[in-house]
Structure 1
Amino acid sequence: MLAVVALLASLVPPPGPVAIEVTSVAGTGCPAGTTTVAMSEDNQAFTVTYSDFLVQGNGSEAKKSCTIELELHHAAGYTYGIAATDYRGFAHLTDKARGVVRNSYRFPGFPTRHSSREFQAMSDNWHVTDTPSGIAHGPCKDRKPLTVETELKVTGKGPGSFLTMDSTDSSVSSTFRLSWKKCAE
């Protein structure tokens, strides 16, 4: 029971506000001004919203990617890792095409977390949740930026096939749920 109480106490976010700063955005999937990042009010997650992340196959392979580097500013004595990530978008894939969503996130000098999902023969919204088998928390003393990379790819001979992480009538987002950890004193 004591171990459970200690674990739950370590998952509580740090006291005070948590601010998120985007230090860089690059890639063919996120041209300037098309990506926003916001911290949740409870400091338990941040959301990346894309307004122009679309890849169209047109009968051949096509891909686009987006790399975002972030810094979280929070009270000393805490660190965080990614507990789970929700990705959403829309896919229109003919019988002869497939779409792939690849993601990774990492702190410099720490293991990279990768995930990949494939879609085939569909014309609908998609939603996937990536839950890592183990959470890699960032360093406690020397804070490092978090790098989030996302790639959308369409392959196959299906003309008119496309995959988005956005929508024509509203933006669609990726939500990164955080796992906070109190650093050892």
Structure 2
Amino acid sequence: MPPRLDVDARRAQLARAVWHVVLTQGVGAVSVRTVAHEAGVAVGSLRHVFPTRAELLEFSAELIVQRAAERVRAVPQDGDPLAHALAVLEELLPLDATRRAEMEVNLALVAEAPALPRLAAIRDEAAAGIALLCRQAVERLGGRDDESTVRRLHALLDGLALHLLSQEPGEDVTWARALLRAELERIASHHG
């Protein structure tokens, strides 16, 4: 049996192939055969790692969440709560080509949730994680920690993400950063 690192690397390679198929052909084109072809591996090799299409899609969704979580954890904790909150929450927005591709794939995979309940669970876990980050941002800013404030911030993030996806790649994104900063400043200004 190959070392675990090789299996993990193969799983990530196959997930990236899923993402490419979704981005270029749509989620309906994702099959064991098309992903194997995209990854340059034999169908049997892919099936050894992911026996079913469902497992392949589920891992691909989990990897998107994992990558976003790693980016969030990598944001340095400095003394400025506003700058930190802004940097953390910006990691959840499609502000560059990588995050845009992840968001597009994520939305396509979420659309598959009715047929694959595990995708719905992954979606719900990711939403809970975003809600937690919003709650932490509100707390760090000294804002009113009520459900309304947290939901408003979460809804703003979701709305910004969709609006950013609706514009052409490479278009100006400073407006989204400015809106997010303004909301965080509003939260900070409304203490207890």
Query: TM-score over 0.5 for the alignment?
Result: no
> What TM-score, normalized to structure 2?
0.25
TM-score, length basis structure 1: 0.26
Question: Greater strand share, 1 or 2?
Answer: 1
Structure with more helix by fraction: 2
Higher relative contact order (CA closer than 8 Å, sequence separation 6+): 1
